[in-house]
């Protein structure tokens, strides 16, 4: 059974020449992207990984409600991700692709989305096959501030992972010392 992380790695290898390839990033004013890719051309491509039919169908219901205004108390209208993608909202990606296992090939996909099949060979390696090229949703390049923010997020993720690894190593060392002391 393939995991989202394995598929993300396969997408990375396929798009590694892009300016930025980042998993699980949420651009300001948008939804979390399973893979946020800024191509060398400056356009943003979102890859949405769906491994089950249930998860794929639930994606259609993604909605965001903004915060209520401090002065009026009124909330902005709800925004549906599907409708924003269909309308080519410049806050969103220039291209959008669903990455799904071959088993979901018969599912219905919106016309504004590309389709890529993720398959796993007998060695466990994930390979990708583009079934339908994603159409251009709009012609607005991603703002440089979004790229700088994403890179900053990468910096902090790296240090958090390093701290987590150090803590884990310290815990293992302490447990080993305690075991050796109890054996004596």
DSSP letters for 81-94: HHHHHHTT-TTS-S
| Average pLDDT of the chain, as a whole number | 89
pLDDT exceeds cutoff 70 at 35: yes
Per the structure block, which two tokens stand in for 122? Answer: 């007998």
pLDDT exceeds cutoff 70 at 65: no
- Distance linking the first and last C-alpha atoms of the chain: 44
Tens-place pLDDT, residues 85-116: 999 999 999 999 999 999 999 999 999 999 99
Mean pLDDT for 35-39 is 97
DSSP letters for 4-35: HHHHHHHHHHHHTTSSEEEEEE--TTSPPEEE
Beta bridge partners of 20: 38
Q: Which of 123-137, 138-152, 159-173 has the lowest mean pLDDT?
A: 159-173
pLDDT of 22 reads 96
Residues 23 and 43 sit within 8 Å (Cβ to Cβ): no
pLDDT exceeds cutoff 80 at 76: no
pLDDT of 8 reads 97
CA dist 167 and 54 (Å) reads 37
Rg for the chain, CA atoms, rounded: 20
pLDDT exceeds cutoff 70 at 64: no
pLDDT exceeds cutoff 70 at 66: no
Q: Which of 26-35, 83-92, 166-175 has the lowest mean pLDDT?
A: 166-175
pLDDT exceeds cutoff 90 at 170: no
Question: Which range among 36-50, 150-164, 169-183 has the greatest average pLDDT?
Answer: 36-50
Burial 76-102 (b: 16+ CB within 10 A, else e): eeebebeebbeebbeebbbbbbbbbbe
Neighbours of 169 (CB within 10 A): 10
pLDDT of 145 reads 92
pLDDT band per the 50, 70, 90 thresholds, residue 78? low
């Amino acid at each position: 059974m393939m995991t989202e992380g394995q598929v993300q790695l396969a997408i990375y290898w396929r798009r590694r020449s892009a300016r930025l390839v980042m998993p699980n990033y949420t651009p300001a004013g948008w939804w979390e992207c399973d893979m946020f890719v800024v191509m060398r051309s400056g356009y943003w491509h979102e890859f949405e990984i769906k491994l089950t039919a249930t998860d794929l169908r639930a994606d259609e219901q993604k909605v965001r409600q903004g915060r209520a205004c401090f002065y009026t108390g009124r909330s902005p209208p709800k925004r549906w991700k599907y409708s924003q993608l269909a309308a080519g909202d410049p806050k969103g990606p220039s291209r959008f692709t669903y990455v799904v296992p071959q088993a979901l090939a018969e599912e219905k996909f919106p016309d504004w989305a590309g389709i890529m099949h993720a398959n796993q060979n007998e060695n466990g390696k994930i390979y990708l096959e583009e079934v339908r090229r994603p159409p251009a949703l709009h012609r607005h390049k991603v703002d440089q501030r979004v790229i700088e923010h994403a890179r900053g997020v990468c910096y902090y993720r790296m240090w958090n992972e390093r701290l987590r690894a150090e803590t884990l190593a310290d815990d293992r060392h302490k447990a080993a010392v305690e075991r050796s002391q109890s054996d004596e």
